[in-house]
A and B are shown apart, each in its own frame.
Chain A
Amino acid sequence: MATTITMPQLGETVTEGTVERWLKKAGDPVEKYEAFLEVSTDKVNSEVPSPITGTIRELLVQEGTTVPTGTPIAVIDEVGAASKSAPAAKPVETAETKADRDTAPPKSRDAMAESANLEPVPGFNLPQLEVKSAAASSGTPTMVPPRSNGQREEAALRGVSPAVRRLAREHHIDVRNVRGSGANGRVTADDVLAAAKLTPSAATAPPEAPRAPSKPGPGNTSTYADPIPGTTIHLSSMRRIIAERMVESRKTAPHAWSMVEVDVTNVWEWRKRQDDRFERDTGVKLTLLPFFIRAVVESLAAFPLMNSKFLTEGPSIHVEKDVNIGIAIGLPANLVVPVIKHADKLSIKGIALAAGDLIERARKNKLSTDDLKEGTFTVNNTGANGSFASAPIINAGQAGIVTMETVVKRPMVQDDDSIAIRFMMNSCLSLDHRVVDGYVASGFLADLKKRLESMGPRGAL
C-alpha cells in the first residue's frame, strides 16, 4: 500500500514548512521513525521521522520549496502493508474514534491514518515497544490484528531486558523483527547488536553527517556554511527570520547599555570543586552558566520590571508571571535561543541539566518549537568565545538581555588595600528603555553582581 506523506505541522502556529533537505531519495528503504527529511519553519529546523517502514516511491517537493502544512510531499510504499491494513479497514468504533470522527472534518481513512502517524514530534525516539503497547491498550483487540508471527513476538517482548531496550533504541532496531537466540527465543543484547550491523541505515550514521554540497546554482551562489567570495548566498528561512527579528528589535526597542564587573572567584572555585563529580554523575559538564542563570533569576525576582515586555497596544507594560530564561546558542549557520522554562523553580543543578539538554539538542538540530517559546529574559554567554564586553540586541518582546563575558585573572585591590589575584568577569546588559530606566537597570546589575559574588565557594548545587 502506498502512503502519502504530508508536510507536518511543526508547532500550533506554524502554517507552512520548507523542505530543507531530503535525507532519502526515491527507491531508498526507510525504517519507521527513521528521519527522512529536514524541514525548516520560521521557528525551527527539524528532522521528520517516517511514520512507516517501507520504500520511498516518490518525492513530490523539491529541496528549498516552501509548502503549506498538509501538502503531500512524498509517497512511501509500506512493507507488508496488505496483511496489516486489511483489518484496519473496518475499525471497531470506540468512543475515542467516534469522538474523533465527530469533531474532525471528514477525511479519507488514509489521511486519518497519516495524521495520526505524523503526530510524533521532532526528536521523537521513544522505544518502539512502548509505542506498541500504547497502541494495544488504547484500541480494542480487533483493531490490532494478530500477525502470523505473533507468538514469536510475544516471546520476544516478554523478555526484553533493559540492555536490549537501550540498544534497540540506540540502533533504531525493532526488537520484534529480531530473531532471538536466548532461552525460549528471547532476544539478547548481542542479537540486537548483530541486527544493527546487518542494517546499517542512516540511523547509525553520525547525526552530523556532512551535508552534500548543495546543487551549484546557475548564478554565482554559495551557501552560508561554505561562503565563497564573489557569490551570493540565498538565505535559509532561519537566517531570514534572524535578520527580520534583529531589525524589528533594534527599530522598536530603544536600546541602552550598561556593564558591571563581577568577582567570580568563589563561584569559580565552587564550580571547580564540583566539576568532575557533577559530570560523572550527570553526564553534563558543569560550566559557569547555571550559576549565572541562577543569580539572574534571583535578581529578576527582585526587579520584576526587568522580566516584562512593552506592548504597543495601550501602550502598556506586561509584567511576566513566569521566569523563562532564553539562552543564546550560536551555531555555525544560525543562532537559536531555546528557553529554560520556570528557571526560578530550578536549583543550580536543575538549570545545568536543562541547559545541557537544550545545548546538546541545539547542536544536533533537534530542538522543537516548544523549546523556543515563551522566553521572558535572555542570557548570552558571549565570554565563551573570549569576548570582554558586548552590546547584545534584545530578543524582541523582552525587556533585557544580559551577557557573561570572558573570565580573566586580574590583580584587584581589596577592601583592606591589599592586592589579590581574582577571577573577574564583565556582565553587560542591554535594556529596552521604554520599559526601564537606568535606575532600575543599574539596580538590577548591582544586585546580580552582589548575588554572584556571595555564591560559593562550597555548598550543594
Chain B
Amino acid sequence: MAVATSSSQVLNNVEAVRATLYEALKNDDKVVILGEDVGSRGNVFLITKDFVKEFGTERIIDTPIAEASIVGIAVGMAMEGLRPIAEIQFADFIYPSFNQIVGEAAKTRYRSNGEYTCPMVIRTPYGGGVRGALSHSVSVEALFYHVPGLKIVVPSFPADVKGLLNAAIDDPDPVLFLEHKKTYRLIKGEVPDGHYVIPIGKADVKKEGSQLSVVSYGLYVHWALEAANQLENEGMSVEVIDLRSVRPMDRTAILQSVRKTRKLLIIHEDNKFGGIGAEISAMVAEEALFDLDAPIRRLAAPDVPAMGYAMPLEEAYMSSPAKMADAMREMVKF
C-alpha cells in the first residue's frame, strides 16, 4: 500500500477495492476475508495480494472450491459477531451458494425476529466484454434483486467503490457487492483518503441533461456517458444517472429526473426480460405515467443463455457507446 500523501489519490477500481479492504482489516479485527485463492495467491486480480502475510490465515482464509460453504460459513461468522467478507471468485460461480444467500443470509433478521443479523458482504466480479465467454461473463443482479432482505450494490467509479464498500462492510445486513471486471483496471479516478461512506440506495447523477434520462449501472454508465457527451456535441442534452445500488433502488432520483426530461432510457448489460430495467419501467409507469412524453425504452442484452466467446457474438450481446448513442438520438428526437 502506498502511503497517502495528499487528501486523495488516483486509483483504478481494483486498487480502490484493495485499499478499502485493507483499511477495513486494519480498523476492525472482526473483519475477515474468505474465498478461493484469496490467501497465498492474493486473489486472481491481486486484490488481496500479501494480505495473508500481514493479517494471517485466521483472517485471510483460503477455502476449497465450494461456494455454498464459503457463504454458509460467512453467515455463521456474521451471526456470531464477525464481519466476514466472502468472495465468490467469479459471479458465474455463485449459483451453488444461492440457498445460503437467499434462503439464509437474507432471511436471518426476519427469521430470528431481529435477535440475529447477518452483517456480511459477498464480493464478486461480474460482467462481460473481456472475452470471458460462457463462465466468466455473467450478470447476476436480476437473480437476486427479487429478494427482500438483500442489498445489491454495483458501483462503477473508484470513489463510489470505496464509499459503498465501506457502507457494505458497516451494514448490519447482507450486501451483495458486484464489481464489473472490465472496469477493474480500465476506470481510474480520484479516491478520497480515509474512511468515508456513500449510503447504499442512493443514485448519482453523473451528467445533467434536459431532454432524456438515461438510467444505468456498472460498466455501461461509462459507455452511456461517452454516448451522452457525443450527443452533447450534436446539440442534444442527455442526463445520465448511475444507480450505484440496484436494491434498494433510488426511486426518488429516477422519478425526479424523468419528471424533468419526460423520457426514460434504461441501459443494462443483463438480459432484458425480467431485468432491473423491468422494475424501473414498471415503477415509472406507476408513478409518473402522465409525465412521460415517449414510451420507456430498455437497451439490454438479448435473451440468449450466455455471452459467446467469438468476438462477433460478444459484440452482438454487449451494447456499445455507438449503439447507446443511436438509441439516445432516437429518443431525444421522438
Contact = CB atoms under 8 A, between A and B. Distances in A.
> Is this pair of chains taken from one and the same complex?
yes
Contacts of A163: 262, 290-293
A166 B334 contact: no
A325 B293 CA distance: 41
Contacts of B294: 161
B147 interface: no
Interface stretch (A182-190, A309-317, A433-441): A182-190
A162 interface: yes
B333 A189 contact: no
Nearest to A192: B293
Contact of B333 (A161, A164, A166, A182): A182
Nearest to B211: A190
B236 interface: no
A189 B290 contact: no
A165 interface: yes
Interface residues of B, number: 10
A166 B292 CA distance: 10
Contacts of B330: 183
Interface in B287-321: 289-294
A144 to B, nearest CB: 28
A337 to B, nearest CB: 33
Contacts of B291: 162-163, 166
Interface string A169-191: 00000000000001100101100
Contacts, number: 28
A interface residue count range (under 10 / 10 to 19 / 20 to 34 / 35 or more): 10 to 19
B11 to A, nearest CB: 41
Contacts of B293: 161-164, 188-189
Given A163-B262, A189-B262, A183 B292 contact: no
A31 to B, nearest CB: 22
Nearest to B295: A161
B288 to A, nearest CB: 9
B290 A166 contact: yes
Nearest to A160: B293
B161 to A, nearest CB: 34
Contacts of B292: 161-163
A51 to B, nearest CB: 27
A182 B330 CA distance: 10
A188 B292 CA distance: 10
Interface string B249-263: 000000000000010
A183 B290 contact: no
A129 to B, nearest CB: 14
A209 to B, nearest CB: 26
Nearest to A184: B334
Interface string A93-127: 00000000000000000000000000000000000
A196 to B, nearest CB: 15
A163 B260 CA distance: 11
Interface in A284-328: none
A232 B97 CA distance: 87
B296 to A, nearest CB: 11
Given A162-B290, A163-B291, A163-B292, A183 B262 contact: no
A183 B334 contact: yes
Contacts of A189: 262, 293
Contacts of A166: 290-291
A222 to B, nearest CB: 45
A182 to B, nearest CB: 6
B289 A183 contact: no
Interface in A123-177: 161-166
A190 to B, nearest CB: 8
Interface of A: 161-166, 182-183, 186, 188-189
9 contacts: A161-B262, A161-B292, A161-B293, A163-B292, A163-B293, A165-B290, A183-B330, A183-B334, A189-B262
Which 3 A-B pairs rank lowest in CB-CB distance, beginning with the nearest? A189-B293, A163-B293, A166-B290
